């Protein structure tokens, strides 16, 4: 204790003055007044609890081992370090809900301190003292620890009470278990068993904490005649206050002894039952969440896995087709509802909640993989005929926008799980007829518009300068144009404008002409892995035949798959989205703003540029360079709201009469006073939002524009004849 700070030393000296010669005698009272039979009985309960806990852990690990194999990349030590940092900082729990993060921090640190404090008592009493004669739970160590544990208990109870307030009084929508894929009256509509479990979890922890204080107070009153206990009672302030209250209420030493004896058993048995049930209840998230964070894939949604060669058919037909990490993911879910709240499909009333997908699979995994016998088929009914399973319209509602993966505090990776089930649906031909037709069209023509390959570069004909064929002559920049920018008439105008900007800036660029195919990003997210492999292979082969230094694309979907997924197919490139490329052109003085635009704008972050690839700054920087005022929408950057086109949904009609995500988003923008321009930087966004502007009745109030169009306005260039302004 020689290393104590001056204040600590003063405090220590005062205590020593007070109880000269007795401080070393201060210690934790454990089994005093208990008969030998009682002590043996308590140990029997303790061993039973530990055995139940160990069995539960074994059952869970056996369940995960029944999943498909998976080899993790990277160093385990780095993963461990990252996990510990995330857990200790509570960074992932704080995000977009700092109140919940703060309360969880109180619970976490309170629980951990109490757990380790109690464990050290066992360590001394059962191991170190009997075997080695080592004692440390006495004197100053005991006093300081008493104070720390008392404060920890208050933190724990405070955090738990706040969580109760959120569930019981604030009634946050994200904590409501009503499912969008079920109707009231369905047996699993709002999963009442989860509500019961949540409340039981909170009450049991509060009961353990509160009875701990009452027990401490009763002990103090019982032993008030022993100065080495009573004189240092304020080192346990909460217990001491309660003890004073008990004395004021007339509790005698004898009464306190009896009360303490009975309560000790209640408290002890409650704590043992809690320990025994950890692997079987929500409490296991202490371990599964940490495990899930440790095995997290930072590119989970951006780079989907290939189908393992060992797998007989694509997709998840059985629960055991999910790998062990995905089964662990299912158990890590704490039902916090953040993904449910962030999901754009759920927000517009589609029958999908990422939370419910995870919980349904978890229930199925528990039912089929936790039994002692090797599971039978454990087949998933992804065609949605059985209650309690994930329906196919749920799976097709997903936009693979990654909002769920991005916000999940425990690193649940929903998108690969959903796509894996979609692969099975595609294999079975269970999809919308228009989607089937589009996939066939892409297979036949290499593009989703069903146009001849030769027409892919038809937009270049209106330009006043030739665009190089990168297959025939070397270029600095290969422009991967993408389907929408190549074939959609509205987007073709933007494409021509961008080509003109590049030309005027003196960029040496070229395209692949008819050798370019659909990049495959959305085909892959639909679940058509075979077609994706064909497309990726064709593009990698075409690019291998071209000479270039870097790739630029105006299409965030192509950008994502070329950047993150083509490396698995042998295509490793430098690639930039046009927003960062143009920013460099401005920085290098190759483009100059001639006319500052004074528009009041808002910017929509495309999922595949923002959330997927963290491209938040460049478009905003460019808007500022142009002189525009930028007003952020409530949902922006990582929390941006999907336009609804992703995951192949642009090829699947939305149910008649339902709100579309793009309409929901345009309504959000319309609430910005005096908004003039809604700025996008993705060809699909332009299509989706121009349509939504009309269908929501906002036409004429503000306009939707590609950032490229604003750049053109601020950097006047010679436009090709027939190009719209």
Q: Are 631 and 672 in contact (CB under 8 A)?
A: yes
Indicate which single residue of 404, 626, 645, 650 sits in contact with ligand SF4 (rule: CB under 6 A): 404
Residues 213-272 that bind ligand SF4 (CB under 6 A): none
Binding mask 41-60 for ligand SF4 (x = CB under 6 A): --------------------
Among residues 342 and 501, whose Cβ is nearest to ligand SF4? Answer: 342
Q: State in Å, rounded, how far the first CA of the chain is from the last one.
A: 78
Q: Are 686 and 637 in contact (CB under 8 A)?
A: no
The enclosing H or E element of 706 equals strand 703-706
Q: What number of residues does the chain have?
A: 725
Among residues 401 and 531, whose Cβ is nearest to ligand SF4? Answer: 401
Among residues 399 and 503, whose Cβ is nearest to ligand SF4? Answer: 399
DSSP character for 415?
Answer: H
**DSSP string spanning 565-577?**
TGGGGT----EEE
Among residues 526 and 542, whose Cβ is nearest to ligand SF4? Answer: 526
If binding is defined by CB under 6 A, does position 399 make contact with ligand SF4?
yes
Closest separation between CB of residue 408 and ligand SF4, Å?
3
CA distance 520 to 513: 17
If binding is defined by CB under 6 A, does position 300 make contact with ligand SF4?
no
If binding is defined by CB under 6 A, does position 422 make contact with ligand SF4?
no
Q: Side-chain half-sphere of 77: how many Cα atoms within 13 Å? A: 0
If binding is defined by CB under 6 A, does position 400 make contact with ligand SF4?
yes
CA distance 572 to 563: 8
If binding is defined by CB under 6 A, does position 295 make contact with ligand SF4?
no
Q: Are 604 and 685 in contact (CB under 8 A)?
A: yes
Indicate which single residue of 149, 157, 401, 680 sits in contact with ligand SF4 (rule: CB under 6 A): 401
Q: Are 562 and 480 in contact (CB under 8 A)?
A: yes
Among residues 408 and 708, whose Cβ is nearest to ligand SF4? Answer: 408
Indicate which single residue of 179, 414, 468, 620 sits in contact with ligand SF4 (rule: CB under 6 A): 414
Closest separation between CB of residue 141 and ligand SF4, Å?
38
Q: Are 661 and 644 in contact (CB under 8 A)?
A: yes
Burial class of residue 244 in the structure, from the number of CB atoms within 10 Å of its CB (0-12 exposed, 13-18 middle, 19+ buried):
middle
| Token representation of residue 346 | 């759920």
Closest separation between CB of residue 226 and ligand SF4, Å?
49
Among residues 304 and 546, whose Cβ is nearest to ligand SF4? Answer: 304
Indicate which single residue of 403, 439, 551, 662 sits in contact with ligand SF4 (rule: CB under 6 A): 403
Stretch that binds ligand SF4, among 308-316, 329-337, 557-565, 665-673 (CB under 6 A): 329-337
Q: Are 702 and 677 in contact (CB under 8 A)?
A: yes
Size of the site for ligand SF4 (CB under 6 A): 29
CA distance 446 to 576: 23
The enclosing H or E element of 478 equals strand 477-480
Closest separation between CB of residue 403 and ligand SF4, Å?
4
**DSSP string spanning 544-566?**
HTS--SEEEES-HHHHHHHHHTG
If binding is defined by CB under 6 A, does position 392 make contact with ligand SF4?
no
The enclosing H or E element of 531 equals helix 529-544
If binding is defined by CB under 6 A, does position 415 make contact with ligand SF4?
yes
Closest separation between CB of residue 61 and ligand SF4, Å?
21
Among residues 19 and 352, whose Cβ is nearest to ligand SF4? Answer: 352
Among residues 345 and 693, whose Cβ is nearest to ligand SF4? Answer: 345
Q: Are 206 and 161 in contact (CB under 8 A)?
A: yes
Closest separation between CB of residue 302 and ligand SF4, Å?
12
Closest separation between CB of residue 324 and ligand SF4, Å?
18
Residues 332-371 that bind ligand SF4 (CB under 6 A): 333-339, 342-345, 352, 354-355, 358
Residues that bind ligand SF4 (CB under 6 A): 333-339, 342-345, 352, 354-355, 358, 398-404, 407-410, 412, 414-415
């Amino acid at each position: 204790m020689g290393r104590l700070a001056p204040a600590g030393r003063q405090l220590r000296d005062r205590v020593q003055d007070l109880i000269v010669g007795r401080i070393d005698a201060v210690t934790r009272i454990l089994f005093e007044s208990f008969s030998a039979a009682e002590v043996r009985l308590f140990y029997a309960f303790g061993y039973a609890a530990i055995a139940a806990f160990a069995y539960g852990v074994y059952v869970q690990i056996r369940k995960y081992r029944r999943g498909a194999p998976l080899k993790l990349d990277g160093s385990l030590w780095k993963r461990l370090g990252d996990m510990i940092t995330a857990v200790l900082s509570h960074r992932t729990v704080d995000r977009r809900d700092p109140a919940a993060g703060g309360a969880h921090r109180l619970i976490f640190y309170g629980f951990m301190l109490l757990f380790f404090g109690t464990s050290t008592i066992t360590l001394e009493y059962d191991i170190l003292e009997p075997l080695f004669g080592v004692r440390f739970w006495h004197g100053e160590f005991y006093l300081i620890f008493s104070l720390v544990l008392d404060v920890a208990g208050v933190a724990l109870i405070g955090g738990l009470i706040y969580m109760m307030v959120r569930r019981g009084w604030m009634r946050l929508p994200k904590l409501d278990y009503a499912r969008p894929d079920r109707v009231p009256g369905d047996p699993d509509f709002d999963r009442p068993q989860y509500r019961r479990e949540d409340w039981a979890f909170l009450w049991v922890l509060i009961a353990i904490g509160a009875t701990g204080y009452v027990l401490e107070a009763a002990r103090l009153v019982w032993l008030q005649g022993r100065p080495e206990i009573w004189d240092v009672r304020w080192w346990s302030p909460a217990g001491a206050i309660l003890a004073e209250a008990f004395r004021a209420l007339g509790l005698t030493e004898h009464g306190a002894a009896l009360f303490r004896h009975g309560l000790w058993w209640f408290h002890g048995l409650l704590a043992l039952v809690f320990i025994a049930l950890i692997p079987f209840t929500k409490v296991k998230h202490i371990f599964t969440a940490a495990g899930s964070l440790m095995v997290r894939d930072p590119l989970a949604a951006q780079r989907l896995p290939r189908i393992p060669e060992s797998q007989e058919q694509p997709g998840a037909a059985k629960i055991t087709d999910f790998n062990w990490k995905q089964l662990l993911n299912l158990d890590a879910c704490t039902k916090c509802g953040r993904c449910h709240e962030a999901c754009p499909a759920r927000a517009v009333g589609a029958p999908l909640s990422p939370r419910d997908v995870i919980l349904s699979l978890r229930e199925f995994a528990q039912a089929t993989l936790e039994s002692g016998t090797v599971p039978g088929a454990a087949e998933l009914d992804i065609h949605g005929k059985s209650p309690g399973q994930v329906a196919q319209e749920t799976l097709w509602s997903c936009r693979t926008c990654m909002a769920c993966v991005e916000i999940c505090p425990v690193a649940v990776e929903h998108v690969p799980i959903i796509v894996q089930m979609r692969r099975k649906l595609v294999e079975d031909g269970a999809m919308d007829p228009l989607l089937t037709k589009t996939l066939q069209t892409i297979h036949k023509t290499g593009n989703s518009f069903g146009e001849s390959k030769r027409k892919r570069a038809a937009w270049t004909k209106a330009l006043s300068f030739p665009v190089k064929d990168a297959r025939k002559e070397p270029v600095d920049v290969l422009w991967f144009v993408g389907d929408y920018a190549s074939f959609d008439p509205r987007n073709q105008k933007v494409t021509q404008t961008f080509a003109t900007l590049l030309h005027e800036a003196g960029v040496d660029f070229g395209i692949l002409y008819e050798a370019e195919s659909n990049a495959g990003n959305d085909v892959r997210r639909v679940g058509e892995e075979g077609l994706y492999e064909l497309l990726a292979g064709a593009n990698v082969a075409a690019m291998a035949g071209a000479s270039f230094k870097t790739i630029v694309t105006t299409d965030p979907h192509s950008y994502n798959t070329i950047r993150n997924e083509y490396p698995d197919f042998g295509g490793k490139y430098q690639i930039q989205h046009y927003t960062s490329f143009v920013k460099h052109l401005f920085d290098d003085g190759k483009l100059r703003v001639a006319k500052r635009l004074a528009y009041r704008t808002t910017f929509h972050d495309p999922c595949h540029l923002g959330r997927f690839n963290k491209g938040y700054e460049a478009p905003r920087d460019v808007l500022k360079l142009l002189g525009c005022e930028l007003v952020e929408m409530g949902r922006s950057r990582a929390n941006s709201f999907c336009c609804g086109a992703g995951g192949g949904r642009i090829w699947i009609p939305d149910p008649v009469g339902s709100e579309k995500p793009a309409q929901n988003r345009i309504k959000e923008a319309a609430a910005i006073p005096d908004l003039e321009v809604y700025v996008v930087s993705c060809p699909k966004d332009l299509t989706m939002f121009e349509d939504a502007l009309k269908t929501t009745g906002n036409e004429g109030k503000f306009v939707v524009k590609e950032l490229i169009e604003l750049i053109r306005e601020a950097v006047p260039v010679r436009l090709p004849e027939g190009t719209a302004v």
